[in-house]
Amino acid sequence: PLFSQEKTGKISFQPEKKFNLFFWLNSLIFLIIIFFIILFLRLFQLTVVKGNYYQHLARQNRLRELYIEAPRGKVIDRKGLTIAENLPADIQQNKARLTSKRVYKETQAVAPLIGYQQIADQNEIKNDACLNKLTLGDQIGKKGVEKIYDCLLRGRPGVKAIEVDAKGNYLKTLMVVPPIPGQTLQLALDLELQKKAYQLLEGKKGAVVAVKPATGEILALVSTPSFDPLKVEKYLSDQDKPLFNRATEGTYPPGSLFKLVVAAGALEEKVIDEKTEFEDTGSVQAGPITFGNWYFLQYGKTEGMVNVIKGIQRSNDIFFYKTGGRLGPEKIKIWAEKFGYGHTFNFGLDQSEGLIPSPFWKEEVLKEKWYLGDTYNFSIGQGYILITPLQATLATASIANNGYFCEPELLKIKDQRSKIKSCKKLPISDKTLTLIQEGMEKACSPGGTGWPLFNFKVSSFAKATEDKQSSSSASLRSIPTACKTGTAESQSKDKNPHAWFTVYAPFDKPEIALTVLVENGGQGSDIAGPIAKEILKTYFERKE
């Protein structure tokens, strides 16, 4: 019906509903066309617009590039003996990073000089200035030779390309680009000497430094206790501080070693000469304080009239109290600095400057006046003065080298003439040097304080050939030496003094200058002297 009448009497009209087939067919066709257009556009994007991109992704799913660490450069000693090298990465493995392990020979003996490596942090990677750049996970030298020559020791990493299946399982190796090792580094170090020095010092706290006087090349540099470069973390809280390099960073009063500086300064400043003599009365006064000579304090004896040669030979405190009093603290400081004390050297290792005091320093830092007693202490290497074993060795080497001061060198020098020319001539006359050298020679001769080196002899090996069979015979030969002993009071009064011994040999044509320090060891001649003797024996007792 077109209309209906409800009970209320109202009439409502309802249009007749009909299904519009044409409309729905057109809509369906339109939707299908839109779908195919979208499908076509998406297909076009995937295959044409981003085809290369998705091909690369597919290849990445199938191909893997593995990082091959470059072997770090080999480190050898002056004779070619290996100190550190790397085991090459195992390229048969299929890990994301194929590592190359560092191996150290004579681990703890060389650690204070060689140093160690650790994983580079983000800041080091960001600020890397080397040609072969660091990447995440690479190791970097943190101390010693490993740090100083890090750029040279680094190699260039390699790549291994492999094919994997959908589950990431290895299928085959497609290509290997081998890494390029870092450069080989030849140190001036004498590994045999280094090992011997370490063995002699092991179990003690101390240091040994040996150099070639003519060039400054470091033949040995030992600090004990030492550490394993591959296990650095375990030493961080060690109270004995094995990571602390006592040879270059440790500072100690030099004791009587410092008398060589006072003698040189006093002679050059003309406050004494070769004829100047002071009577050894056993002790001197400075205000209310009495300063005694070690020989008088230990044995109750005096040594009569003492000149500069005898003063060095017998390490006579009375002579140097009075000589230092004439020279004065300011000039003592000036001459100490001429010999390298109070300075660091530009050769890479971490160092301490030490302390060469002065009246100005005492007033500024301690807010106290400088007294005559301070000068007396200063004159015999006691009081506020602090030096490093490296500084002591270089000072001795400059005396051995006829007044030429050579800065320390870690690498073996190939052009020795050029290096010798670069050594600095100290403002010391030949006459002064001769007097000091003679005093040091007498110190290592009967009547001196360096008794371990009295009549020092070593085995000399001679080859003999008889009936086409070779044999070796050994005889003793004398090696004249020049030395100075030192016994320096520790800051802790309840501990033994520090034991020092510095020496060069042979006296007429020095090949080696050597200093031994034993922390709280006792008398220099008794404790450090025998160690120096054994090191020298190792150096000279070698078959050609």
Active site residue 256: yes
Cβ(242)–Cβ(235) under 8 Å? yes
Residue 261's closest CA among 91, 126, 143, 391? Answer: 391
* CB 443, CB 315: distance < 8 Å: yes
Closest Cα partner for 338 from 244, 264, 412?
A: 264
Catalytic-labelled residue, pool 256, 315, 379, 445: 256
Q: Token pair for residue 395?
A: 């000072």
Could you give the maximum distance between any two Cα atoms of the chain, in Å?
155
Burial class (CB in 10 A: 0-12, 13-18, 19+), 158: buried
**Whole-number Å distance between alpha carbons of 431 and 320:** 19
| SS3 at position 475 | strand
Query: What is the number of other CB atoms lying within 10 angstroms of the CB of residue 407?
Result: 16
Amino acid at 70: A
Cα→Cα distances 95→29, 63, 133, Å: 56, 13, 22
Per DSSP, 452 falls in state G
**Residue-wise over 262-294: b if at least 16 C-beta within 10 A, else e?**
bbbbbbbeebbeeebebebebebebeeeebebb
What residues have CB less than 8 Å from 398, skipping those under 6 apart? Answer: 213, 339, 340, 404, 405, 406, 426
Distance separating alpha carbons of residues 274 and 423, to the nearest angstrom: 28
**Which residues are CB-contacts of 284 (< 8 A; sequence separation ≥ 6)?**
290, 291, 318, 321, 322, 376
* Closest listed residue to residue 541, CA positions, set 441, 444, 457, 454: 457
Do residues 413 and 419 lie in contact, with contact meaning Cβ atoms separated by under 8 Å?
Answer: yes
How many Cβ atoms from other residues are within 10 Å of residue 443's Cβ? 26
Q: Give yes or no for a contact between 258 and 396, defined as CB atoms under 8 angstroms apart.
A: no
- Compute the distance between CA of residue 537 and CA of residue 60 in angstroms, rounded to an integer: 64
Q: Residue 458 in contact with residue 537, Cβ under 8 Å?
A: yes
What does the block give as tokens for 77?
């000693």
Cα gap 302→282, rounded to integer Å: 5
Helix axes 329-338, 317-327, angle to 10 degrees: 100
Cα-based angle 194, 197, 202 (whole degrees, multiple of 5): 120
Place of tokens 């195919």: 36
Question: Which residues carry out catalysis?
Answer: 256
